Amino acid sequence: MNRLAVPSSLNQLIDAAGVDAALTLVAARRGTRFWIPKKAEGSELAKIVGIDDARKIVEELANERIEIPVAKRILNRWLRERGASQEARANKIGVSRRTVQNWDAAEGARVSGPQPDLFDAAG
C-alpha cells in the first residue's frame, strides 16, 4: 500500500488492516500508547476494531506498544467522508464546530448547500 503522509505508527496500522480499522482505533484511543496483544480473541483491540481486523493487526504488530496519534485533521476528513455532521465530528474529535468548519474550508470541502455571502456587493 502507498504510504500516507501520517505518523509512522498510523501507517503501520493502515498497512496491517486498512484505513478504516486504523482510524477506528485512532478515534477510540488517540493520543495514547496502545499495546497490541499476542492474540486477537477477547482483546481490547478486537472490541474496538472487530475480530477480523484485530487478527490482521496482531499478525503484523503482535506484542508491540505503539503510539496512537491524535490525528485530529485526519479524523475529521475520515468522518466527513462517512457523512458525519460538523457537530458530530467536532464532538468526536474534541474541538469546536468552528474549527471543523475551518478545516473543511481549508480542504475545499463542500459540506452544505450554497449560502449567500453577507458582504456580497450584488445584494
Asked whether residue 88 carries a pLDDT value surpassing 80, the answer given is: yes
Measured distance CA(109)–CA(102) in Å, rounded: 10
Asked whether residue 40 carries a pLDDT value surpassing 80, the answer given is: yes
- The confidence score (pLDDT) of residue 110 equals 62
The pLDDT tens digits for 70-87 are: 999 999 999 999 999 999
CA-wise closest residue to 29 among 61, 75, 73, 95: 75
Q: Spell out the domain ranges in the chain.
A: 8-68, 72-106
**How deeply is 105 buried, as exposed, middle or buried, from its count of CB atoms within 10 A (0-12, 13-18, 19+)?**
exposed
101 CB neighbour count, 10 Å cutoff: 15
- The confidence score (pLDDT) of residue 34 equals 97
- The confidence score (pLDDT) of residue 112 equals 53
> C-alpha grid cell for residue 108?
475545499
- The confidence score (pLDDT) of residue 111 equals 53
